[in-house]
């Protein structure tokens, strides 16, 4: 049981996500009444991975809440890269589709990079296209990956200073770690990126004013690895029979953190809400 005195340290991702969704809902209404456009998202799911199916379902439910039209495209696990590319091409040319989301991971025999590059940069709701990633790297943030965008939104909402602070990211994936590093660097944090080959992880995490953990290792970060007063974002999700766990040993780490996201109910819901924001952005820029 969590001591009540720590509750004010919890960043409630569901509440923040509701706020973002409210903004999107009002943006969708404006776009419909001023330009007669209803934003549309096409989701592509390849195969039947249960977690991916659930994430796509969460995205469709969010679309319903904010008034975005969502269409589901399912490809069997044994479909080919060429079939996937043909589907993406048809969605790129569909004027009712403003955003395209390709749920990751893809089955082994696919090239996710080639598929990402096939999505029109203007419809890249996930911000994974090299063009949008490149823009992010030079500080021109438009369509950026949803999870790091959610972390930035939470930092803003909680008035956490970033400039000159030590930010440490654990995990160097293209989905979270690398874009997160760029976004924090764009805000003048001093950024360290750690990963599986990092020698002495604790040496880095102990210096973090802002710690973002996306390693996918249950309870990797223990209380003795964090600085007193750190702001901590837990992006990891490990599902076990008795529940869902993050990369941070929440119950103990919260005693040292000034702010921390729980799992579930932290960064996950924000990721979905930022996707809604991106689809609206794509629709607003469409001709």
Ligand X SMILES: Nc1nc2c(c(=O)[nH]1)N[C@@H](CN(C=O)c1ccc(C(=O)N[C@@H](CCC(=O)O)C(=O)O)cc1)CN2
Active site residues per annotation: 59, 103, 126
87 near ligand X (CB under 6 A) = no
Please state whether beta strands 190-194 and 238-240 pair in parallel, antiparallel, or not at all (unpaired).
unpaired
**Contact residue for ligand X among 31, 180, 208, 237 (CB under 6 A):** 237
Chain centre distance of CA 264: 14
d(CA 130, CA 121): 8
59 and 101 Cβ atoms separated by less than 8 Å: yes
CA-nearest of 267, 220, 262 to 9 is: 262
Select the span of 135-143, 151-159, 193-201, 262-270 touching ligand X (CB under 6 A): 262-270
235 near ligand X (CB under 6 A) = no
**Contact residue for ligand X among 20, 102, 231, 253 (CB under 6 A):** 102
Task: List the structure tokens of 79.
Answer: 């479909």
Select the span of 3-11, 205-213, 261-269, 279-287 touching ligand X (CB under 6 A): 261-269
Toward ligand X, which CB reaches closer, 10 or 244?
244
Q: Which of residues 123-152 bind ligand X (CB under 6 A)?
A: 126, 146-147
175 near ligand X (CB under 6 A) = yes
Coil, helix or strand for 41? strand
DSSP 176-238: THHHHHHHHHHTT-EEEEE-TT-S-HHHHHTT-SEEEE-S--TT-B-GGGS-TT-EEEE---E
Annotated binding site for NADP(+): 171-173, 196, 237
Please state whether beta strands 238-240 and 243-245 pair in parallel, antiparallel, or not at all (unpaired).
antiparallel
244 near ligand X (CB under 6 A) = yes
User: The sheet that has 99-102: what strands, in order across it?
Assistant: 69-75, 40-46, 99-102
Phi, psi of 49 (to 5 degrees): -60, 125
**Contact residue for ligand X among 148, 177, 179, 269 (CB under 6 A):** 269
Toward ligand X, which CB reaches closer, 205 or 271?
271
Toward ligand X, which CB reaches closer, 104 or 208?
104
58 near ligand X (CB under 6 A) = yes
Q: How far is the CB of 13 from ligand X (least distance, A)?
A: 7
Closest residue to ligand X, Cβ-based?
A: 268
Toward ligand X, which CB reaches closer, 112 or 207?
112
Coil, helix or strand for 272? helix
The footprint of ligand X on this chain (CB under 6 A) covers a number of residues equal to 21
Q: Which residues bind ligand X (CB under 6 A)?
A: 55, 58, 101-104, 126, 146-147, 175, 237, 239, 244, 263-266, 268-269, 271-272
């Amino acid at each position: 049981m969590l001591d009540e005195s720590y509750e004010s340290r919890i960043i409630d991702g569901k509440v923040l996500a509701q706020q973002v969704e409210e903004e999107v809902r009002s943006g969708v209404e404006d776009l419909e009444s001023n330009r007669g456009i209803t934003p549309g998202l096409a989701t592509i799911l390849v195969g039947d991975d249960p977690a991916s199916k659930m994430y796509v379902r969460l995205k469709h439910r969010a679309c319903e809440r904010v008034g975005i039209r969502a269409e589901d495209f399912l490809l069997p696990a044994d479909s080919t890269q060429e079939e996937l590319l043909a589907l993406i091409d048809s969605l790129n040319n569909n004027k009712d589709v403003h955003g395209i989301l390709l749920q990751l991971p893809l089955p082994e025999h696919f090239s996710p990079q080639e598929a990402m590059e096939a999505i029109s940069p203007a419809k890249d709701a996930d911000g994974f296209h090299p063009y949008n990633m490149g823009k992010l790297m030079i500080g021109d943030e438009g369509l950026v990956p949803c999870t790091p965008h959610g972390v930035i939104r939470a930092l803003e909402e909680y008035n956490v200073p970033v400039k000159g602070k030590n930010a440490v990211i654990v995990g160097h994936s293209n989905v979270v770690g690398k874009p997160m590093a760029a976004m924090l660097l764009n805000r003048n944090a001093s950024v360290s990126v750690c990963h599986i080959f990092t020698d002495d992880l604790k040496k880095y995490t102990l210096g973090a004013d802002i710690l973002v953990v996306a390693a996918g290792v249950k309870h990797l970060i223990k209380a003795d690895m964090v600085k007193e007063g750190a702001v901590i974002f837990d992006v990891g999700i490990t599902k076990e029979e008795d529940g869902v766990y993050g990369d941070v040993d929440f119950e103990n780490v919260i005693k040292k953190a000034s702010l921390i996201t729980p799992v579930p109910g932290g960064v996950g819901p924000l990721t979905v809400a930022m996707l809604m924001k991106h689809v609206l952005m794509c629709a607003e820029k469409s001709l």
